[in-house]
């Protein structure tokens, strides 16, 4: 188990240097966040797709002023419009920079994607649907 977690962490450290983050949508003024995807990470198999995304926060929640970001690896069930989180990590700087302050590699259960949500945007990109 330790080897798997170490491999994931090393992959994340290495992938940040070469990731091609593309902004999708405009900055959300209510939450001070901007959503990015790495199109190079899209992997499709049958009716499922996997992709990395990044959420960049302008200001940290709970009244802190330092920027931070979160990277997520999701799997998408394209036909039934479902999503499953595979990996999640927080960083103390914007755009996945700085130190990883938290990570979780426990796969979640499948969940329905809500219309007009951030997850719907990501599902459409990963599955190659019209946005």
Residues 6 or more apart whose CB falls under 8 angstroms from that of 45 comprise none
Whole-prediction pTM: 0.79
Segment 86-108 shows an average pLDDT of 94
Question: Does residue 74 surpass a pLDDT of 70?
Answer: yes
Q: Categorize the per-residue pLDDT at 61 as very low, low, confident or very high, splitting at 50, 70 and 90.
A: low
* 25-39, 51-65, 72-86, 110-124, range with the lowest pLDDT: 51-65
Structure tokens at 35: 């959503």
Query: What range does the domain containing 32 cover?
Result: 2-127
Q: What is the DSSP string of 46-84?
A: TTEEEEEEEEEESS-TTT--S-EEEEEEEEEETTTTEEE
Question: Does residue 121 surpass a pLDDT of 70?
Answer: yes
Number of domains comprising the chain: 1
Q: In this structure, what CATH number is given to the domain that contains residue 66?
A: 2.40.128.710
């Amino acid at each position: 188990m330790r080897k798997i977690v170490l491999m994931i962490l090393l992959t994340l450290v290495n992938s940040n240097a070469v990731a091609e983050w593309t902004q999708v949508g405009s900055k959300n003024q209510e939450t001070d966040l901007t959503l990015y995807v790495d199109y190079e990470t899209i992997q499709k198999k049958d009716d499922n797709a996997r992709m990395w995304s990044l959420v960049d926060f302008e200001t940290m929640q709970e009244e802190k002023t330092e920027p931070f970001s979160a990277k997520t690896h999701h799997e998408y069930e394209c036909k039934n419009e479902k999503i499953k989180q595979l990996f999640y990590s927080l960083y103390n700087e914007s755009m996945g920079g700085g130190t990883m302050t938290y990570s979780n590699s426990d796969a979640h259960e499948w969940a329905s994607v809500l219309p007009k949500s951030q997850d719907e945007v990501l599902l459409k990109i990963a599955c190659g649907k019209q946005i």
